[in-house]
Homo-oligomer: A and B are copies of this chain.
């Protein structure tokens, strides 16, 4: 390891008997240590999500030779898992790691930068973010709030959830009590289900006792330890979050104080961490699904029937139209995503889909 700023100063002092007072701040600007604080939505040692913040901090420190030191505070420390937006905006924290759709109640247009029902898969969405105008639209939404937002890692396709009974028609959804929060919950309500939100710690018991009939959680990597497969054997395939992206948030004033090489290091650390979290999620889902499907051979993987999918698609389109009619920026984002999805999916269909169908 090369010496960090602190060590370099003392080496100089010793070797050259040179008074540090003579060295103006500017001549040693390249060695100044920036100590940043990051608040994450997740609890301590959360797999995958918590790995992303630790990996990012370590990589930034290594590449900057110790000039960037990032302290990560988990939810048990800052006590505000859904306060990340406000704490980074105000400067209480320099950085945050969370997910954009959590801020919909505060800034409605943040909804569009995590994952949308019947929307883009992770690879398609990365292409939209980095090559299709997504980053610029995210800047339009976050900029006015003194924030920068970057993709923060993808949790891979989320499954449609665990159901106690098979869904064979739209009628089977009528009155169905399902834990599904956010925009996807609004879609479910439009097709007749009764969406609800329940604290994670009470989910298993609620499902077991029939307080709810179904729930969506994440995918095999997160679902396995929750044990839902023991009490709700129908595992439905994806529709509502085909590529859930987390986010790194940065306080703009903090960002502007960083020298350009450290900005480049931080942005690159975000970007490579995001891709790596996606890779880790694929690997973890593959491993957990292997365990789950061999330890619980009675799990029944099901696709929603076409009439249910069609109704959920129609409800999604209607809800998006209502949002677009309310706000010009919402309209612009929705149009950009729709247009990009149409173009990229045509390619996905003759490439990945054709390949998977033939194998």
Contact = CB atoms under 8 A, between A and B. Distances in A.
A103 interface: no
B356 A349 contact: yes
Given A30-B8, A279-B131, A304-B358, A346 B269 contact: no
A280 interface: yes
Contact of A239 (B118, B127, B237, B358): B358
Interface in A113-148: 118, 121-124, 126-127, 130-132
A275 B301 CA distance: 31
Give the bracket for the number of chain A residues in contact with chain B: 35 or more
The quantity of this chain's copies bound in the complex is: 2
Contacts of A318: none
Contacts of A62: 260-261, 264
Nearest to A58: B264
A205 interface: no
A286 B343 contact: yes
A355 to B, nearest CB: 4
Contact of A29 (B2, B219, B239, B272): B2
Given A22-B16, A62-B261, A343-B290, A279 B123 contact: yes
Contacts of A206: none
Contacts of A11: 27
Contacts of A242: 355
Contacts of A156: 351
Contacts of A1: 259-261
Interface in A39-97: 59, 62-65
17 contacts: A2-B259, A16-B18, A30-B31, A63-B63, A63-B265, A121-B355, A123-B279, A127-B279, A127-B283, A131-B280, A156-B351, A220-B347, A237-B354, A268-B268, A271-B272, A282-B347, A304-B358
